[in-house]
Structure 1
Amino acid sequence: METVPTCAVPLIPKSDAVRAGHLYVVSTPIGNLGDMTFRALGVLAAVDCVAAEDTRNTARLLAHFNIQKPLVSLHEHNELGRTARLVEALKKGETLALVSDAGTPTLSDPGFILVREAIAAGIPLVPVPGASAALTLMSVSGLPTDRFLFCGFPPKKTGRRRTWIAELSTCTAPLIFYVSPHSIVGFLGELKDILGDRAAVLGREMTKVYEEFLRGSLSDLEALLQDRDRVRGECSLVVAGSRETEAAPGGRDVEALIEKGLAAGDVKPPALAKRLSVELGMDRKTLYDRIIALQTSSSD
């Protein structure tokens, strides 16, 4: 994580004071500690206990802000068995904060089972919003943001993963994925094979010193990362949705955009196809073939 100067925990308004028997779902920074909210700090300083995905990571986070709290681990391997104990503590009036290693709990992170069981037990839940890798990437993607589909981490087994991708192929909204650095190149290739060579944006090491955003078609991103010895840092990926069923530029509109591009005179067909594929979320080779066809017909 990127560090910021250690600071005292700010006072929070009485209206935000923690309440007995409440579960607080607290978002934490995805990398830059400067993204920690005052409200989150106030809640973490006031609760009786913090349930954390990795107590070591959370202990470092709390120590940075001079907060000392009992920690209990809650991760994918123990959440089912540990939830009952935490729910009982909440029923007795204890206050509990739920955090993950980074970002918003339950979104591709542990916490869903605890939240579900707390709701079933009638325990009040309080969200404390903050950082989210998906929203961070979406805000600078340049792709439509009126709606999108958060897909999380892809399945690990190849057959199941490819079936899962195919099921997403008709979604017209942008698709957001979390991908580990060691599997990102292969995943980009699978997306290209199954979805077509769509426009995409990759966010790597977001909010940190080596933050990087790569833009282009899926094949462009694949080629860029293949040239690197190693990909470091967790990756978030947004891919343009299918244009087959939404009100996207029709055949005539695409032709008009191609003709406009060719009329400029200084744009080669390959470069024009690449640019339009990013703008329209269409397959670059398909666009290139249409450009050549229009050039040929106009010269006859």
Structure 2
Amino acid sequence: MQLIDGKATAAQIKAEIAEEVKQIVESGGKRPHLAAILVGHDGGSETYVRNKVLACEACGFKSTLLRFEDTISEEELLAEVDKLNKDEDVDGFIVQLPLPRHISEQKVIEAIDFRKDVDGFHPINVGRMAIGLPCYISATPKGILELLRRYHVETSGKKCVILGRSNIVGKPMAQLMMQKQYGDATVTVCHSRSRDLKKECREADIIIAAIGQPDFVTADMVKEGATVIDVGTTRVPDATKKNGFRLNGDVKFDEVAPKCAYITPVPGGVGPMTICMLMKNTLSAGKKEFYR
């Protein structure tokens, strides 16, 4: 069994990005600029955004954080999005989700200029990804592809089972693993209504678990020599931890790991790659790689 170390891989990629940014700036080019909008004081969102700002520093990017109280109206937030759309110095920006209930997340996502949508959530980027055109690919699926590539996990012709059908992970992951230029695999998507889910998993060469149910994938669901990618990060109460909880994946790691050829841990697997791929998308935005 080989552990797929997302933390070490992410650090390596950020160093590669920083070197490229250094060369861009030294040759007279523009330093990439990522902006983020944070609404309210959600603990998870605060942590994510803080980590994104730190990642920008590590990559040599310029970063801007715009903070608003959760009393901001939808109209006011859309006006802030429009300002960033029009700001020529900002190459890419994100609106940290979730948003307060009185604001339509979909309306905000669609208001972002797709050429600056480094989260890859805008319908234009999602559509271009689905048919294999150059675009910003959402960070978690992109990070998983990068881990598979860097660890030389064979995907072409393999059977891949994806647990979960969310717009952020499950659906784009299925699209990418299917495409010849990325996974080139035979893909099955399982969810809460799937029959014979265990049987499907037992036949899989690659399992990508993204359903948000701690310890859902057990040893009897995994065949010998499979690759298991655990996207789940659920906070589970743990009195032994200073903050009172631990992050738990969708995979029962201790019993599944011995059967695997490759497996990602939680934390330290897919998580660090997500922010890292946001940095890759920002670099692409700065270089006008996809859209001019």
TM over 0.5: same fold? no
Higher RCO (CA-CA < 8 Å; seq separation 6+): 2
Max Rg structure: 1
